[in-house]
Amino acid sequence: MNKSIIAAITTVALVTTSPVLARADDPGQLLTSTISKGFEILRDPMLQQPDQLANRRKKLWDLLGPIFGFEEIAKRALGYHWKEINAEQRREFTETFTEMLKDVYLSKSDDFQDGEIKFVRQIVKGDRSKVQTHFVNGEKKIIVDFSMTKIDGQWMIYDLTVEKSVSFLANYRTQFNSILSKGTFEDLLQRLRDKNIELSN
Amino acid sequence: MNRTFWTSAVLICFLFLTASPNSAHAQFFSIGTTEVATPEDDDDFQLDEDDWDAYEPVIVIKDPYEGFNRWMFKVNDKIYRYIFNPISDVYDFILPNRVQECVDDFFKNAKTPVPLVNNLLQGKFTQAATVGGRFLVNSTVGISGLFDPAEYYLKWSEYDEDFGQTLGYYGMGSGPYLILPLLGPSSGRDVLGWIGDYALNPFLWLGIFDVEKEEVFTGLSYLRRVNAYTYRQRDDYETVMVGAIDPYIALQNFYVQIREAKSKE
């Protein structure tokens, strides 16, 4: 009898204190717990050795990649131009653009060793949500709002807005729109490929 | 100078006494592995409209001088890379980050007349009061503004209004996009605003009212620029450049987005 009461209490305690179990469908929880794990990887002294850099970036990518909806990002960054290209072009664009984002932001991640993320608030409406977080590093704090959408039952990030003003998606969208207003889709793709070559050097 | 100084001092004291800044203390508590922070204000936090396939993509700015601007952008980029960066490297090597933060806070505090006057001009009296209160606290407890106890302990955030925003507040359009030599992205309205704010710059008063101090004025201006570049702008600029496909448009759009957001504050 006593044992089953203890078991019941333990179960309730586990379920209510474990955010993953309690709120599997919670975008804010998914996002902040995943990014917190990212900071743990960055803090791991073993992975801070110079010869571990590639390994560390791979671990980060394996962790963070799945919570970003890259096809959604590509689609939204192209805007109405997405409708004007075929499936093969969409696939190639998504792949090239993802490669670029990965190289740019993984290289930036090396500077965020001492950071942490704090959940602030969120709105969930149907399959879209917005999660507000604080990225804190010492006394410095940046407000980052994540826009997320549910794809195949899984919450994924498609945009982030820094300090309630700068949206990265809007920025890429403006760049792509500008390039496409002067050139073809093939030109844009070529510039992305050039950028990837430049980044890998 | 004395009269101006004392008039501002009295005005600031008055504002401070009548101040009722929102002091929403951030409370941190822990859920699982992730900490939770309370929002800073009760602004409208909401989902944006889902217009992913809209024809008008995002806010844009008129750029009739694009040819000149693109050229100036390239010149600035070279100046940053070959002149600013080496100076900034040395500065960064000598002064630790914490000291740079103090220098940054010092200049922010010293130019209090700018946000103070512009908040007043826009009728944002509570914000102006907070700005005045910040000045008093940071000039005293914060040792001439080297530290920011007003933000850290009292949660009195800065309200960074400038004359360009004041002009926007009274309905003036942004005017054409302009890349200024050394200073970078701006607009017709912001150039006018910059001139207005310059008149409120206390270091200008030092220069004008006390001719012997001109070297001090010049020296402080250089220090302010090198510190701001090293402590704040350089990383942001390089992040924009490394992530951009068309760096000129990327920088322009970040400028537009920041100005747009500030005009809504």
Residue in A33, A107, A165 nearest the CB of B258: A165
Nearest CA among A141, A139, A123 for reference residue A131: A123
pLDDT band at residue A196 under the 50/70/90 scheme = very high
Residue in B36, B50, B257 nearest the CB of A119: B36
Question: Which residue did the predictor score with more confidence, B123 or B13?
Answer: B123
For the whole model, what pTM was predicted? 0.81
Q: Burial, B257: exposed, middle or buried (Cβ in 10 Å; 0-12, 13-18, 19+)?
A: buried
The answer to whether the CB of B165 falls within 8 A of the CB of B53 is no
Q: What does the pLDDT read at residue B206?
A: 66
- Segment A176-199 shows an average pLDDT of 94
Q: What is the dihedral of CA A39, A43, A49, A53, to 10 degrees?
A: 0
The residue range of the domain holding B102 is 3-263
Across the interface, do B46 and A29 touch by the CB < 8 Å criterion? no
Indicate the DSSP class of residue B185. E
Q: What does the pLDDT read at residue A144?
A: 94
CB B188: neighbour CB atoms within 10 A?
Answer: 17
CA distance A129 to chain B (A): 7
Number of domains in chain B: 1
According to CATH, the superfamily of the domain at A3-196 is Tgt2/MlaC (3.10.450.710)
Across the interface, do A163 and B239 touch by the CB < 8 Å criterion? no
**ipTM, interface predicted TM-score of the complex:** 0.83
Q: Give the β-pairing of B29-31 and A116-125.
A: unpaired
Please write the tens of the pLDDT for every residue from B112-170: 989 999 999 999 999 999 999 899 989 888 888 888 888 888 888 888 888 999 998 89
* HEC secondary structure over B80-149: HHHHHHHHHHHHHHHCCHHHHHHHHHHHHHHCCHHHHHHHHHCCCHHHHHHHHHHHHHHHHCCCCCCCCH
CA distances from A153 to A102, A145, A156, B46 (A): 24, 21, 9, 22
As given in the structure block, the two tokens for residue A103 are: 């190289």
Residues of B in contact with A116 (CB under 8 A): 35
As given in the structure block, the two tokens for residue A180 are: 């496409």
Please write the tens of the pLDDT for every residue from B235-251: 889 989 999 999 999 99
Nearest CA among B37, B52, B199, B56 for reference residue A136: B37
**Helix (H/G/I), strand (E/B), else coil: A11:** helix
Across the interface, do B57 and A128 touch by the CB < 8 Å criterion? no
pLDDT band at residue A22 under the 50/70/90 scheme = very low
